[in-house]
Structure 1
Amino acid sequence: MKKNIAIIMGGYSSEYEISLKSGQVVFETLDKEHYNAFRVHIFKNKWVYVDENEAEFPIDKNDFSVTVEGQKTTFDCVFNAIHGTPGEDGYMQGYFQLLNIPHTSCGMYQAALTFNKRDCLSVLKPYGIKTATSYYVNYGDTVDEPAIIDKVGLPCFVKANKAGSSFGVTKVYKKEELQYALEVAFKEDDEVIIESFLDGTEVSVGVITYKGEVKVLPITEIVSDNDFFDYKAKYLGESQEITPARISKEQEEKVNSVAKKVYEVLKMTGFSRSEYIFKDGEPHLLEVNTVPGLTKASILPQQAAAAGISLGELFGNAIEEALAN
């Protein structure tokens, strides 16, 4: 019997439009012989199933079901395509865990931890994972600009602590730019992380659980046409994403080892995509994404294709892994 799969998309953050695109690709790609796919839009003001005619039917949050023309449908598994909150920060994971509904993303704790850049990097440092030098500021704090620059130097990056798709990120060259950069970051979150600039090759590494085994996908080199890998570079074609990356065998082995270690130390499941910059030949972790972009042009699907895994296989495997667990 075919499984009923709810593909959740949308979300409450600035990333909702990207999420809708990712979710639509999953919907169009899932093997219809094995799965009944349902598009479910999750927004602050509504949770709805959207049918083929774009008609909307409310989701019953008591058991995450939908009733159409008197027929109630429950779901065997949820495919999580929500970037940002509430799909990538633990809220949906906790909800589905309480309802005992399998889902394709990592666990509640892992999602919450990885979505919080400051906490994630702090947890990984004792395991020898190298990172940029960082300084923390919360909304309402007195900003000690000399102390910040003394610790992280210039240029530096000012980032919203809990946000994705490079929303709330500014590269700062002069002390006079710090205050504006903080204002930009605080529009996305009330916590900020300020990091030293790492000058080196940037790569993105996908790690997934595939057929029961942790698998590191071919590495992607990021060459932004802009000052850094910002929103336009990620989604508007203003970058080169080169898979496999033009790095040495030694660099490849190092970053593969680190990415696999991060996945296993955090006890991850499902998809992950983490970014690294090589400094002095060593990969330094920037962040971990647990619901990466899933459009055909997105990095993780590109990496899967380079590994000989089609989109249909990638998405189907995620569902089967979730059902098996």
Structure 2
Amino acid sequence: MKKKNVAVVMGGYSDEYVVSLKSGQLIFDSLDRDLYNVYKVVILKEEWYFLDDRGEKSLINKADFSVNLSSGFDVKFDVCFNIIHGKPGENGELQAYWDTIGQTYTGCGFYQSALTFNKKDTLAVLSKYGIPSAKSVYLRKNEDCNEDQIIADLGLPVFVKPNQSGSSLGITKVKEQADLKKAMDFAFAEDDEILIESFLDGMEVSVGVIDYEGETIVLGITEIVSKNEFFDYEAKYEGASEEITPARIDEETRIRVKNIAKKAYDSLGMSGFSRSEFIIMNGTPYMLEMNTNPGFSPASILPQQAAHYGISIKDLCGNEVEKALNKTK
């Protein structure tokens, strides 16, 4: 059987590209060479390029996402393994482009990517399915706001965050109203839309959900114990947190979290990797957000959960490629 050409597509347009490169390397190393020819493709704002074994770059032809190597050999990819965190791989832009040119790819489609990258819209849709979230105020850049009314409605502390961003970039925990404006400006530097959310005093958990061999499964529930004020960029990627799998919760709460995470995944018509964040308060899981291209470096939560569940990284990645290939049959 002829091997399929798989491009592991990494990088991105935000500061998350550094994490994406690490995630891409793990997937590149893990895919079965007996089944696939595996290649690296890096997408950055300034250029899209193919990276060969010697580290030499060749530009991607955006007309059909192929590459013409200096040897004169053209490479066309049977599957693109999308592991870009943030724009353009997690907000639907890349998926819409691939759909237009007929390129097969892993993970969820354009609509699910665009929806889940927008925190406000995700939580609004999931509320219709009975999935609770924090009380919040939504603001656009340069829109007038009444700080006194916001604090009266939400109380203190509050979280101020970009509506469309990842890796906890641009997020501030605000304890005093005097700090609210600075936090809003910080969030607006990442996105033109922000959310100000009420504080939920409870345990933060991260829940990995995937569709694996035709079934929606919860890989694990990981308890997040941050050394910082919250699970920020430093806590996620620089070791300033303790991640405990399985989370230290009772069986009744575990089942409740598992069922809500699966319900959210299925209700949105998801496919591929996902990691949803919840705060458990008084036994009730409140959803914060869903990530459709979560971190996949060796230290990331989803690979840890897969190991706990008993699925190897090789099988996890191979399942994604085979699902994508089967969509085209």
Residue 209 of structure 1 pairs with residue 215 of structure 2: no
Superposition deviation, residue 298 in structure 1: 0.4
Cα distance in 1 between the residues matched to 2:281 and 2:30: 39
Q: How do 1:178-189 and structure 2 match up within 5 A?
A: 178-189=180-191
Greater shift in the superposed pair: 4-13 or 23-32: 23-32
Task: Indicate if the aligned counterparts of 1:8 and 1:81 stay in contact, CA closer than 8 A.
Answer: yes
The residue matched to 1:278 in structure 2 has which SS? strand
Which residue of the partner structure matches residue 243 of structure 1? 245
- SS of the counterpart of 1:8? strand
Secondary structure of residue in 2 paired with 1:219: strand
2: CA distance, partners of 1:79 / 1:214: 20
Which deviations, in whole Å up to 9, do the C-alpha atoms of 1:7-63 show, x marking residues without a partner?
Answer: 111111121111111111111121111111111010111110011111100100111
How many Å separate the matches in 1 of 2:55 and 2:153? 52
Instruction: Report the Cα distance in structure 2 between the residues aligned to 1:26 and 1:217, rounded to whole angstroms.
Output: 18
Shift of 1:143: 2.5
1:119-152 CA deviation, whole Å, 9 max, x = no partner? 1111111110000000011100113101111111
Distance in 1 between residues matched to 2:102 and 2:216, nearest whole Å: 24
Aligned equivalent of 2:311: 309
CA contact (8 A) 1:103 1:322 kept: yes
- Which of 154, 157, 163 aligns to 2:156? It is 154
Give me the whole-angstrom Cα distance separating, in 2, the residues matched to 1:146 and 1:10: 41
TM-score by length of 1: 0.99
Equivalent position SS for 2:54:
coil
Q: Distance in 1 between matches of 2:22 and 2:149?
A: 42
SS in 2 for 1:217: strand
Q: Shift of the alpha carbon at 1:167? A: 0.2
Partner of 1:43: 44
Residues 88-167 of structure 1 aligned to structure 2 (within 5 Å): 88-167=90-169
Task: Tell me what 1:59 maps to.
Answer: 60
SS of the residue 1:255 aligns to: helix
SS of equivalent to 2:103: coil
Distance 1:137 1:61 in 2: 36
Shift of 1:247: 0.5
Cα offset for 1:99?
2.0
Asked whether the 8 Å contact 1:272–1:289 carries over to 2, the reply is: yes
What code does the residue aligned with 2:68 have? Answer: T
Letter paired with 2:13: Y
Deviations 1:239-265 (A, max 9, x none): 010011110101110011000000111
* Paired residue secondary structure (1:276): strand
Give per-residue Cα distances to partners, 1:55-79, cap 9 Å, x unaligned.
Answer: 1001001110001111111000010
Q: Distance in 2 between matches of 1:260 and 1:323?
A: 24
Superposed displacement of residue 100, structure 1: 2.1
Distance 2:243 2:132 in 1: 23
The question of 1:323 aligning with 2:325 is answered: yes
Query: Is the CA contact (8 Å cut-off) linking 1:209 and 1:321 kept in structure 2?
Result: no
AA in 2 matched with 1:249: E
8 A contact 1:155–1:173 mirrored in 2: yes
Q: Which amino acid is 1:17 matched to?
A: V
Aligned residues with identical type, % of pairs: 54
CA distance in 2: counterparts of 1:323 and 1:213, whole angstroms:
17
Structure 1 residue identity aligned to 2:229: D
Once residues 219 and 322 of structure 1 are traced to their aligned partners in structure 2, the CA distance between those partners, rounded to angstroms, is 26
Match of 2:197 in 1: 195
1:218 Cα deviation after fit: 1.6
Q: Does the alignment pair 1:292 with 2:294?
A: yes
Give secondary structure in 2 for the equivalent of 1:198. Answer: coil
Q: How many residues align?
A: 325
Q: Point out where structure 1 has 5 or more consecutive residues left out of the alignment.
A: none
Partner of 1:87: 89
Partner of 2:229: 227
Report how far residue 322 of structure 1 moved. 1.4
Q: Which amino acid aligns with 1:45?
A: E
Q: CA RMSD in A?
A: 0.8
Matches of 1:33 and 1:280, distance apart in 2: 50
Q: TM-score, normalised by structure 2?
A: 0.97
Cα deviations by residue, 1:252-288 (Å, 9 ceiling, x for unpaired) = 1001100000011100011110000111210000000
Give the distance between the partners of 1:44 and 1:240, measured in 2 at CA: 34
Contact 1:212–1:321, Cα closer than 8 Å, also in 2: no
The AA in structure 2 aligned to 1:173 is K
Corresponding position: 1:252 with 2:254: yes
Residue 8 in structure 1 maps to residue 19 in structure 2: no
Q: Secondary structure at the match of 2:128?
A: helix
**Which string of whole-angstrom CA distances, capped at 9 and with x for unpartnered residues, describes residues 90-138 of structure 1?**
0111111122222112010000000000111111111100000000111
Matched, 1:172 2:206: no
Report Cα offsets for 1:177-207 as digits up to 9, x if no partner. 0011011101100000010010111111111
C-alpha separation in 1, matches of 2:214 and 2:138: 38
